[in-house]
C-alpha cells in the first residue's frame, strides 16, 4: 500500500490545467503554445492523495499525506526556445525580487536555478523556481501552507523531472540557514547558522540597496557578526560557496 501511495502521488504530476501563481501572472502568454511543456496539479488532486495516504498504516506516509493536504497547486512550464531563455530568466528575477525572499541560487554545468519563497513566521505560502536548464527556460510555483523542511522531504520521495529543481532544497539545505536574533538591536551580535556544506564559504552583509558592508569566512556552522557601526534598517546576508548562494534578510532596530 505504501508503494501504491507513492505511485499515485507521482502520477498526479502528469495532469494539465490553467496555471496559478507566478505562472499565471508572468508567463500566461506561453500556455497556449504547443511546444511549451506545462504541468499543473490542482489542490483537489493533492487532497485526493492525502486521503489515500491517511489509510496507510505507515508514519512516513502519514507525514507526507499531511503535507500534501496543505498544498493548493503545483505549476510548471518549460520553454524550449533557447533564444529567449536568458532574457526570460533575467526578466523573471527582476520582477519577483520585490515580492519574494530569495532562498538559494545555483549555477553549475551551464544550469542556472533560483528559488524564492513567500514566507512569514516560518510558514511558506509559495515556492517559486526560475531557471535555465539545458538552454531552456523553466518556471515553477508550489502554493500552500508548508514547512520548508517538509518540502525537501516530500520531493525527495518523488522520482519526477518536474520536481527536480525543488530537490535542490534537500541537496543544499538552505532551510538550515538561521540568523538570530532577528530583528536585533543596534550594536548586538548576530549569529549566522549555516548548513555543513556551506562551511568554508563566505558570509557577506549587504545593505538593502545592495551595498557590500563586510565579508567574513565561515570557518564553522555558527558565525558571529557584529552590528556595531550599523544604522537601524533592513539588510541581507549572503552565504556563498562555489556555485551555490543562499540569502537571509536581517532587520536592525534602535
| Span 236-252, pLDDT tens digits | 999 999 999 999 999 99
110 and 161 belong to one structural domain: yes
Domain endpoint, select from 174, 192, 209? 174
Residues 50 and 161 reside in one and the same domain: yes
Together in a domain, 25 and 38: yes
Q: Which residue has the higher pLDDT, 66 or 146?
A: 146
Supply 31's cell numbers.
500556455
Same-domain check for residues 235 and 202: yes
From the list 76, 81, 75, 89, the residue with the least C-alpha distance to 35 is 81
Contacts with 131 (C-beta within 8 Å, 6 or more apart), sequence order: 89, 111, 112, 113, 114, 137, 138, 139, 165
pLDDT score at 11 = 53
Kindly state whether residues 164 and 181 are assigned to the same domain.
no
Residue 199 scores a pLDDT above 80: yes
Contact 85, 135 (CB under 8 A): yes
Same domain, 196 and 97: no
Largest CA distance in the chain: 60
Residue 155, pLDDT above cutoff 80: no
Of 174, 193, 218, the residue that ends a domain is: 174
Same domain (yes/no): 141, 61: yes
Mean pLDDT of the chain: 85
Torsion angle, alpha carbons of 185, 187, 189, 192, to 10: 70
DSSP β-ladder status, 202-207 and 233-241? antiparallel
The pLDDT value given to residue 15: 44
What residue numbers bound the domain in which 169 lies? 2-174
**Cα(74)–Cα(137) distance, rounded to whole angstroms?**
17
Q: Count other C-beta atoms under 10 Å from residue 211's C-beta.
A: 9
Of the listed ranges 9-18, 25-34, 61-70, 182-191, the one predicted with least confidence = 9-18
Which of the listed residues 158, 174, 190 is the one where a domain comes to its end? 174
Lowest-confidence pick of 6-20, 105-119, 185-199: 6-20
pLDDT digits (tens, 9 = 90+) for 93-102: 998 888 899 9
CATH code of 237's domain: 2.60.40.1930
* Bridge partners, 119 (sequence order): 124
The count of domains in the chain is 2
Could you read off the pLDDT of 43-65 as tens digits, one per residue?
777 777 667 666 677 777 777 77
User: Range with the lowest mean pLDDT among 21-30, 31-40, 159-168, 212-221?
Assistant: 159-168
Asked whether the predicted pLDDT for residue 115 surpasses 90, the reply is: yes
Amino acid at each position: 500500500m505504501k508503494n501504491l501511495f507513492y505511485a499515485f502521488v507521482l502520477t498526479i504530476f502528469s495532469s494539465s490545467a490553467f496555471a496559478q501563481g507566478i505562472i499565471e501572472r508572468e508567463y500566461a502568454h506561453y500556455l497556449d503554445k504547443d511546444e511549451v511543456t506545462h504541468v499543473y496539479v490542482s489542490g483537489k488532486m493533492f487532497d485526493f492523495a492525502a486521503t489515500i495516504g491517511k489509510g496507510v498504516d505507515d508514519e512516513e506516509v502519514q507525514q507526507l499525506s499531511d503535507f500534501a493536504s496543505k498544498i493548493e497547486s503545483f505549476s510548471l512550464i518549460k520553454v524550449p526556445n533557447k533564444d529567449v531563455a536568458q532574457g526570460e530568466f533575467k526578466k523573471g528575477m527582476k520582477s519577483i525580487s520585490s515580492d519574494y525572499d530569495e532562498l538559494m541560487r545555483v549555477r553549475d554545468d551551464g544550469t542556472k536555478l533560483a528559488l524564492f519563497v513567500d514566507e512569514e513566521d516560518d510558514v511558506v505560502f509559495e515556492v517559486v523556481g526560475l531557471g535555465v536548464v539545458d538552454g531552456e527556460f523553466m518556471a515553477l510555483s508550489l502554493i500552500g501552507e508548508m514547512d520548508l523542511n517538509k518540502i525537501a522531504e516530500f520531493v525527495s520521495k518523488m522520482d519526477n523531472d518536474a520536481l527536480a529543481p525543488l530537490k535542490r532544497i534537500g541537496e543544499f539545505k538552505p532551510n538550515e540557514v538561521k540568523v538570530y536574533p532577528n530583528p536585533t538591536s543596534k550594536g548586538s551580535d548576530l549569529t549566522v547558522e549555516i548548513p555543513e556544506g556551506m562551511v568554508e564559504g563566505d558570509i557577506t552583509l549587504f545593505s538593502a540597496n545592495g551595498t557590500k558592508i563586510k565579508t567574513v569566512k565561515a570557518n564553522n556552522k555558527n558565525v558571529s557578526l557584529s552590528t556595531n557601526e550599523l544604522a537601524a534598517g533592513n539588510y541581507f546576508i549572503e552565504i556563498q560557496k562555489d556555485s551555490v548562494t543562499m540569502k537571509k534578510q536581517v532587520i536592525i532596530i534602535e
